[in-house]
Amino acid sequence: MAKLCFLAIAFTGLGIQLSDLAWEDWQSWLLVGGSVCLPLVGMFFGNHVLWGMFIGLGTSVRWISLGELGREHPRCLMTVEEICQRHRLPLPKLGVVKLKTPYFLAYGIRRVHFVMAAELLTALSDEELSLLLAQGLGQAHHGDLALVSFGSLIPTAAQMLQSRLGELPRALRQLSIAIPYVGTVFLVLALVLDLINWGMQRLADVSALPLQWVLRLRHYYADRFAAIATGNPQRLWRTLGKLAHLVVTHAPENTTAAGQAKKHLSAFTRLCVMDFNGAIALGSGFAYGANNEMLGTLLSWELFNPRANLLEVQSSHPLLGRRLHRLCQVPPTDEDLQHQVKTLQRQISPSRLSQGLVYEWLLTFGEPIWLGFALVLGFVAFTHSPLPFLGVPLFISAAAFSQLLQLARQFPRFGRLSTLPITRLLGDPYLSGTRGQPVQMEGILMQRGDRLFDYGSEFKLVDETGAVDLAFVHPLFATGKPFSRVLTLVEQHKSVMIQGWFYRTPIPMVRVAKLTAEGIKPLLYHHGSRRASIVALLTLLAIATFWWTFNSPTPSAPESAPPAEMEIQFEAPTAVPPQP
């Protein structure tokens, strides 16, 4: 790699010196093209070195030998050696990170470099760990790993640079306040760094778009390779589901170093075995659904909901539910799960799914469309109406009406609802992430601290089928008495009844409207109190502007003076001399 970089620098210098030559000269094209291509070739063949440097910047990796792995997992070592010998692959290199979060990523060209969390060596069995290693070897066998490792360098480098520079603008702004005279210079530097951060984020997003399809497709082939190589596809999809469940239930790490390491490793999501953020929903209910007939119900949202396609396009990994369904079709097939999925597919109404998607789009884009229509009416009134300022109350009325429609959705009747398990809600194919579904749930409250990256709200509701985040939208919840009451319920492990709105997002969430428990006063949270105050304020403002528009004196044209009377003067006829 050093030789390639040296040649690239030499070609770049020669290209600069010969830049004044005519572009018709083939030597100029060769030198300039070489100065561009040689660094890319060096990055391709040396990407494993670059990835090792990137990972080592934020966390320490301890590389272990296969013999050390074989002492604790002998069957895993036998499986890896057999696959490498059969497909003529070099033995992989294993690295361990001292984290409890279930990280598992792979990179390289022919020789695969695995980096995994130390927690996985104890949480996964011998067979489960061998299946994950076989999945990474399948990527190397198909050649996908080299392409993805090379293509992900630029997006990851841009994302890491953006995260490194993210704290500098804030520090520079604080210096600009503390130092009055030199503060302008620091403020300008902060603005420049903000622009660089924005550019790095856009570069990471745009450069990753061409790779998204390849990144998603490679996992299907790698899963099939691992299932056929080990002869146990059912065990593989259960291993992936267990890994997703570990994302939800792993023990937290409260040290600063562990938090920084987790934040650093989040930049390498494209190399991981799954998208951990997208696996939270399935992992919440997998422990219950994997052992009985509820698994098909748990997968139905990701298999049949049209909104799942939009989520998958934005991700670098396929949806976990679709991966599990594909693995169930690899022989020997899981007939029970396939029968569940086919039964659910016959029961689902495609028209209802389409109507739900259209309704969701209307809720998302209806408000700006309505406000834009009000702006057009206001412009027409300003140009053609005798009341030129009629558009102002029209626009305010449109804003109040749109907020009123949003408010009307947030106060349904909860009395007729039946209590549903969390797993059934997670797999309901008709649920949406934009329009909330009124639900009634029963379970035990838990406080945050057992989630990857600590995403979600402060509390969650747990029942025998899964877990879901809770969002308390009371303005004074974080500092008032309701917070202390909920903390008391968490400490006492009491069963509670929740009424609210369920949102099926990558991280499922319930916005709480009412919380009841035995022995305490019901806690009510006015879900739309802020929106109701906004509606009232806009309504009063619209009435005031309408009154002002219709009662203000309209400017009239200046009165013209009456026309002056015309005096008609008759001239006396002149005498005509007689003709001789």
Q: Which helix (H) or strand (E) holds 55?
A: helix 47-58
Whether the per-residue pLDDT at 314 is higher than 70: the answer is yes
227 residue type, one letter: A
DSSP H helical ranges for 266-390: 280-289, 294-304, 307-313, 320-328, 335-347, 350-384
113 strand-pairing partners: 93, 107
Top-ranked range on mean pLDDT: pick from 91-105, 271-285, 458-472, 540-554? 91-105
Model confidence at 91: pLDDT above 60? yes
Provide the 10 A C-beta neighbour count for residue 187: 16
Which of the residue ranges 177-181, 351-355, 441-445 would you say has the lowest mean pLDDT?
177-181
CA dist., res. 457 & res. 224, Å (int) = 37
Q: What is the Cα 354 distance to its own chain's centre?
A: 23
CB atoms within 10 A of CB 74: 11
Cβ-based neighbour number of residue 148 at 10 Å: 21
pLDDT tier at 81 (50, 70, 90 boundaries)?
very high
Q: What is the pLDDT of residues 376-419, one digit of tens each?
A: 877 777 777 677 777 777 778 888 887 777 776 666 666 677 78
What's the mean pLDDT when you consider all of the chain?
Answer: 74
Q: 472 and 460 in contact (C-beta within 8 Å)?
A: no
Cβ-contact 236, 135 below 8 angstroms: yes
Q: Quote the pLDDT of residue 544.
A: 85
- Residue entry with tokens 């997998």: 286
Strand partners of residue 499? 440, 514
Both tokens of 376, joined, read 């057009």
Residue 251: pLDDT above 80?
no
92, pLDDT greater than 90 = yes
185-221 per-position pLDDT tens digit: 666 776 777 777 677 667 666 766 777 887 888 889 9
| Strand, helix or coil for residue 503 | strand
pLDDT digits (tens, 9 = 90+) for 263-299: 666 677 788 888 877 777 777 777 665 555 677 778 8
Tally of residues, the chain: 580
If residue 471 lies in a helix (H) or strand (E), which one and from where to where?
strand 467-471
514/415 Cα distance (integer angstroms): 12
Predicted pLDDT of residue 554: 55
Q: Each residue of 11-54: pLDDT tens digit?
A: 444 444 444 444 456 566 666 666 667 666 666 676 777 787 77
Report the b/e string of 212-238 with b at 16+ CB within 10 A. beebbebbeebbbbbbebbebbbbbbb
* Helix (H) / strand (E) containing 148: helix 144-151
Whole-angstrom distance, CA of residue 251 vs CA of residue 201: 31
| pTM score | 0.72
Higher pLDDT, 228 or 246: 228
Q: Quick one: pLDDT at residue 133?
A: 93
Percent of the chain scored above 90 by pLDDT? Answer: 6
- Tell whether the model's pLDDT for residue 324 goes beyond 70: yes
Other CB atoms within 10 Å distance of the CB of residue 494: 14
State both tokens at 318.
């396929």
Contact of 415 with 423, CB cutoff 8 Å:
no
What pLDDT is attached to residue 434? 76
Please give the backbone phi and psi of residue 106, each rounded to the nearest 5 degrees, phi first.
-140, 145
Q: Look at residue 243 and tell me whether its pLDDT is greater than 90.
A: no
Average confidence (pLDDT) over 99-117: 86
> Do residues 545 and 374 lie in contact, with contact meaning Cβ atoms separated by under 8 Å?
no
Q: Residue 61 is which amino acid?
A: V
Buried b (16+ CB within 10 A) or exposed e, 274-298: bbbbbbbbbbbbbbbbbeeebbbbb
Q: In this model, does residue 534 exceed pLDDT 90?
A: no
Domain ranges of the chain: 2-45, 64-347, 350-408, 422-527
User: Is the pLDDT reported for residue 473 higher than 70?
Assistant: no
How far, in Å, CA of 212 to CA of 100, rounded?
A: 28
CATH code assigned to 422-527 = 2.40.50.200
Range from 70-79, 124-133, 298-307, 409-418 carrying the lowest mean pLDDT: 409-418
What gap in Å lies between CA 529 and CA 533, rounded to an integer? 6
pLDDT of residue 90: 92
Which token pair is 435? 């329009």
Orientation angle between helical segments 256-265 and 47-58, nearest 10 degrees = 150
Count the neighbouring beta carbons within 10 Å of the beta carbon of residue 165. 14
For residue 487, the surrounding DSSP H or E stretch is helix 481-492
